[in-house]
A and B are shown apart, each in its own frame.
Chain A
Amino acid sequence: MKENNIEELERQFQEKIDNDIKIEPRDWMPDAYRDTLIRQISQHAHSEIVGMLPEGNWITRAPNLRRKAVLLAKVQDEAGHGLYLYSAAETLGADREETIDDLHSGKAKYSSIFNYPTLSWADMGAIGWLVDGAAIMNQVPLCRCSYGPYARAMVRVCKEESFHQRQGFEIMTTLANGTPEQKAMAQDALNRFWWPALMMFGPNDAESKHTEQSMRWKIKRQTNDELRQQFVDITVPQAEMIGLTIPDADLKFNTETGHYEFGEINWDEFWQVVKGNGPCNKDRVDARRKAKENGMWVREAAAAYAEKRANRNKEKRA
């Protein structure tokens, strides 16, 4: 009897999904759906927070006042995205602090792109243009994700990401039209970030263990390879427009398919970075762990003060 009930609930759940009715926090959902979303949303939140570090690395060295203000605003937006995403994960019953501890212990992942160092000012351009550009490709379909709070968070996030992408491209354009040193700086940033940006879409579809189920649940609406292809098709002409060269000898436009064909991604590098062996994995996680440890006494003070105040108010009322 009980089994029948679950089957019936699952049938109704899938029917809602098939009819594009959003799943809300209080609705019944299969455990695996909940777990998949918690994993995906918290990974996304961690990516926003860890993603503050490579760009934060250039705030104090930004080349002029306008760029400094824009970069500060951008990194602040990322912190804001992290905040709504942790809240979205909380609607599924995930505790924010526990989720963050999973990041620090290495149990939870975040986007591997942030394990690459930012070595020049041009990297601020490359990150905005390529990394935020790739993030938009991934996130626009998430605005239609079956889980209501995640979909709604993504609407707002995507608006800001598209501004970030444009400012990144504008930095690259300025450098590409600048002095030979500036152009070389831009090309070097593109060389270093191009392949890691393509890796942001995840393994090839044949290797992606979560894709099929996530597509059925409409958590994911397009496959990794489809999104990666869209990104390449949009980005290559942008690089050409500003006179930069994509670092891929195999890149060519196929006039029959209307798509760019591109070289093989170094999957060994991809898995190495995912496993924690990228150039900055340790630094990034250490920085976050330190922020939490160094902030412990501040959080304790805030809690202690709040309690004292509540008690004083109670005494006053009594």
Chain B
Amino acid sequence: MNKNLFEYLLRLGDDSLIIGHRLSEWCGHGPILEEDIAMTNMALDFIGQATTIFEYAAKVENTGRDADALAFLRYEREYRNVLLVEQPNEDFAVTMVRQFLFDAFRKPLYEALQNSSDTQIAAIAEKSLKETKYHLKHSSEWVIRLGDGTEESHEKAQYAVDTLWRYTDELFFENEVDAALQAENVIPSLIPIREEWQKTVTDVLTEATLSIPQNGWKQQGGRTGLHSEHLGYILAELQYMQRAYPGMKW
């Protein structure tokens, strides 16, 4: 098995799975009916992406574990998502700013992954990019509306940016897994992706009249399986059925 490829697929799949889980928590509780539908729709896109990615990961691993086993039956330290996506929804501002910071990363990433030497990854990226462009448009528009809306919404949006900023550096985490895959042109370097992310974030936050926190305190650990306290609770819900009724078909 290609261990690096498997590891990379878990990163992609877990980011999608966990942010999809967070978005799905809004279902039935959105601030406007249209937005309830939009967030559920995005959750559905992310669960769909996670499914395709885990199906491929299962094939790469080739030990008989399937996509569901990867999604539902790993231990906490085996999840590879960034800390950003597991942060709680709190309110609509935190949810949308989190979404925006993530979408602004995912869009250039998928654009670059379309050129992957791995045809499966290229296909997944091409399909997911269409959804991601829509997600980024949607979350950018909300960040602007909230930032440049009322005094109250501006404060909440600024709080969200300030709170989540410490988790953004980890989006660009790279280690020997990346180096090996980059050498085979499976994945791109994150340097130009970071530049594009920085530009998108600066443009949108400026238009939203929000200030960009000065780089300082950084949190990371998700990519190596060291998560915040929040992930355990996500997994307690996510894995409940698979753990309570082991080995059953649903």
Of the residues A56, A66, A182, A299, contact of B32 by C-beta under 8 Å: A299
Flag whether B2 is at the interface (Cβ < 8 A): no
Is A49's beta carbon under 8 Å from chain B?
Answer: yes
Whole-angstrom CA separation of A150 from B91 in the bound complex: 35
Q: Please state if B47 and A68 are interface contacts (CB–CB under 8 Å).
A: yes
> Across the interface, do B238 and A295 meet the contact criterion of CB distance under 8 Å?
no
B178 → A minimal CB distance (Å): 26
- Are A75's CB and B245's CB within 8 A? no
Q: Pick the contact of A305: B44, B144, B241 (CB < 8 A).
A: B144
A298 B146 Cβ-Cβ under 8 A? yes
Residues A80 and B238 in contact in the complex (CB < 8 Å), given A63-B250, A298-B92, A301-B150: no
User: Which single residue of chain A is at the shortest CB-CB distance from B91?
Assistant: A294
B59 cross-chain contacts in A, Cβ below 8 A: none
Q: What is the CA–CA distance of A144 and B126 in the complex, to the nearest angstrom?
A: 44
Contact in complex: B29, A291 (CB < 8 Å): yes
Q: A69 to chain B: which residues have CB within 8 Å?
A: 44, 47-48, 51
Query: With A75-B40, A76-B37, A178-B249 given, is the CB distance from A290 to B29 under 8 Å?
Result: yes
A residues less than 8 Å from B249 (CB atoms): 174, 178
Of B27, B41, B250, which one neighbours A64 at CB under 8 angstroms? Answer: B250
A244 to B155, CA, bound (A): 55
CB distance from B17 to the nearest CB of A (A): 8
Neighbouring B residues of A174 by C-beta, 8 Å:
249-250
Interface size on B, residues (CB 8 A): 47
Question: Is residue A215 within 8 Å, beta carbon to beta carbon, of the partner chain?
Answer: no
Query: A66 and B28: CB pair below 8 A?
Result: no
B250, A298: Cβ atoms closer than 8 Å: no
* B25 CB–A CB distance under 8 Å: yes
Does A76 contact B44, Cβ atoms closer than 8 Å? Answer: yes
Question: Which residues of chain B (90-112) have a CB below 8 Å from chain A?
Answer: 91-92
CB distance from B157 to the nearest CB of A (A): 8
Please tell me the size bucket of the interface on A: 35 or more
**Complex Cα distance A80/B33, Å?**
9
**Contact B248–A298 (Cβ < 8 Å):** no
Name the residue on B nearest A79 (C-beta).
B37
Q: What 0/1 readout, one digit per residue, does chain B (139-158) give for beta carbons within 8 Å of chain A?
A: 00000111011101100100
Question: Is the Cβ of B153 less than 8 Å from the Cβ of A65?
Answer: no
Task: Tell me which of A60, A171, A181, A302 contacts B25 (CB under 8 A).
Answer: A60
- B245 near A181 with CB under 8 A, answer yes
Interchain CA distance A174-B250 in the complex, whole Å: 6
Question: Chain B residue with minimal CB distance to A293?
Answer: B31
CB proximity of B59 to chain A, nearest CB, Å: 15
Q: Is the interface of B mostly helix, strand, loop or mixed?
A: helix
Distance to closest chain B CB from A96 (angstroms):
9
Chain B residues within 8 Å of A67, by CB? 250
CB <8 Å contact, B44 and A73: yes
With beta carbons under 8 angstroms apart, the residue of A60, A66, A178, A301 that contacts B248 is A178
The residue from B24, B47, B54, B148 contacting A308, defined by CB atoms under 8 A apart: B148
Flag whether B181 is at the interface (Cβ < 8 A).
Answer: no
A64 & B37 in contact (Cβ 8 Å cutoff): no
Q: In whole angstroms, how far apart are the Cα atoms of A141 and B180 in the complex?
A: 63
Q: Is B172 an interface residue (CB 8 A)?
A: no
Per-residue contact bits, chain A 181-206, to B (CB 8 Å; 1 contact, 0 not): 11000000000000000000000000
- In the complex, the chain B residue whose C-beta lies closest to that of A306 is B145
Asked if B240 lies at the interface with its beta carbon under 8 angstroms from chain A, I say yes
Is A280 in contact with chain B by the CB < 8 A criterion?
no
> What is the minimal beta-carbon distance from A85 to any residue of chain B, in angstroms?
11
Q: Which residues of A contact B28 (CB under 8 A)?
A: 49, 52-53, 56, 75, 287, 291
Query: B30, A291: Cβ atoms under 8 Å?
Result: yes
- CB contacts (< 8 Å) of B145 on chain A: these are 301-302, 305
Can you report 20 A-B residue pairs in the complex whose CB atoms are below 8 A from each other?
A60-B237, A60-B238, A64-B72, A65-B47, A67-B250, A69-B44, A69-B47, A75-B28, A76-B37, A121-B250, A178-B248, A182-B245, A182-B248, A295-B31, A297-B150, A299-B31, A301-B150, A304-B149, A304-B153, A308-B148
Given A56-B28, A79-B40, 13 additional A-B pairs, CB 8 A? A49-B28, A72-B44, A75-B28, A76-B37, A79-B33, A171-B250, A294-B91, A298-B35, A298-B153, A300-B149, A300-B152, A301-B145, A301-B153
Which residues of A are in contact with B by a Cβ distance under 8 Å? 49, 52-53, 56, 59-69, 72-73, 75-76, 79-80, 82-83, 86, 121, 171, 174, 178-179, 181-182, 287, 290-291, 294-302, 304-305, 308
